[in-house]
Structure 1
């Protein structure tokens, strides 16, 4: 399986997907278990075929439909008008789909909006910058106001709570 925003994808036939989706729907044991039917067919078969797959997937029992990697806001409008189901949008910075606001996407019918890589990309950017500075100057002092400090980090990970558990269960005999 390749990321939907990468080249070289292949998709199974709609008939095979319908069988698999039907099996998942039949196997569901709780109404609280949401089934999202995804297709990468936009890249391999075109927008119309992807929409047809989405419509079929909803008929088969999917709770939400995910047409991966539409290439424009106009395509997203067409998807929203064509498929009567909660839709999933996947916002990947630098990906095939233009980044849009949650408000805009909601108006188009997208009820689930994913930001799967935003934090990872931000962390990667920050890591690259701090390591470049460390290599260049031999210090990270320039970043003091841009990072959490030691105490803030310990509070964030709730260190005192875990220290109490260590004492309670005897895992740690030292402070």
Structure 2
């Protein structure tokens, strides 16, 4: 009922412990607080908050137009409704190293278990598009050092994302991953890996957890969880998948409404009112006000 009763510190320590165990953690991307609650109900190990989803939610492209305030606000709404650890996309840190430190503290206050900072130039773009650029190694390292120095809770996970693979190749990406770990990164997000062997190369190069981004229509093949586990990946995200599914369903619904004038034929595809009320835990609210939950919803 209302918000999660699990303290943020416990979410962070649990996230750290599970990563240290070597198991693979699955973090589907939530596009709103309700979808985060559904991710928890279905038994996943964490929730991811994508910068691409947050910008799309505002009707904007993923090119660095969102602000720290917008990202922190939406992330707080998502993190507070779930008992699961939340990992958030902090883009390039919303500025230079001092801004990165403030970004870390704002997102720490928003209740996340971890965040990742990338090495693209501003304005950034989706990591699976051509033409992206990365900053020099010195600035990339300074961003991660600032992030590590800025956190107040030592259990807050600082993950470094590198987009070098799509700019100058795998060897340079591996070298940069090592440098970012030396700078203080607790985990590495090697963006746009093309093969399982490339993930395996990053795994062999660093002694911290690594993340695989299984975004659709991108540079990476959509590898299974089992295949990624076999090459040593520790975290898998599907950042935009639920939004894409939801928007696809919304489009088909609107097409049916245009054609038929009613959505009767789509009822079987909808979340039933009873399931929604169960997800919202309507009944629990009656402990505070007996007039709240005075109805029965049938599935007929």
Q: So what's the TM-score if we normalise by structure 2?
A: 0.52
1:50 match: 173
SS for the counterpart of 1:37 is strand
In structure 2, how many angstroms separate the alpha carbons of the residues matched to 1:147 and 1:45? 45
User: Counterparts in 2 of 1:132-151, with a 5 A limit?
Assistant: 132-151=255-274
Q: Counterpart of 2:6?
A: none
Aligned to 2:217: 94
DSSP-derived class of the 2:234 partner: strand
CA deviations 1:115-147 (Å, max 9, x no partner) are: 111111111111111111111111211112221
State the alpha-carbon separation in 1 of the partners of residues 285 and 217 from structure 2.
39
Number of aligned residues: 170
The match for 1:12 is: 135
Alignment match, 2:96: none
Partners of 2:136 and 2:189 lie apart in 1 by 16
* Counterpart residue number, 2:189: 66
Consecutive aligned runs of 4 or more in structure 1 exceeding 4 Å deviation: 160-165
Unpaired runs of at least 5, structure 2: 1-123, 293-300
CA shift for structure 1 position 159: 3.7
CA shift, 1:76, in A, is 2.2
Q: Deviations over 1:135-171 (max 9, x none)?
A: 1111211112221233332332234445765x59xxx
Match of 2:248 among 125, 131, 150: 125
| Bigger Cα Rg | 1
RMSD: 2.2
Task: Specify the SS of the correspondent of 2:258.
Answer: helix
Counterparts of 1:144 and 1:25, CA distance in 2? 49
SS of the counterpart of 1:74?
helix
SS of residue paired to 1:35:
strand
Separation in structure 2 between the aligned mates of residue 19 and residue 63 of structure 1, nearest angstrom: 15
Aligned counterpart, 2:106: none
Richer in helix (by share): 1
User: Structure 2 CA distance, aligned partners of 1:136 and 1:78?
Assistant: 52
Render the CA deviation track for 1:8-29: whole Å, top value 9, x for unaligned.
2111101111122122223332
Is the 2:196–2:231 Cα contact (8 Å) retained in structure 1? no
The 5 Å alignment of 1:99-114 reads 99-114=222-237
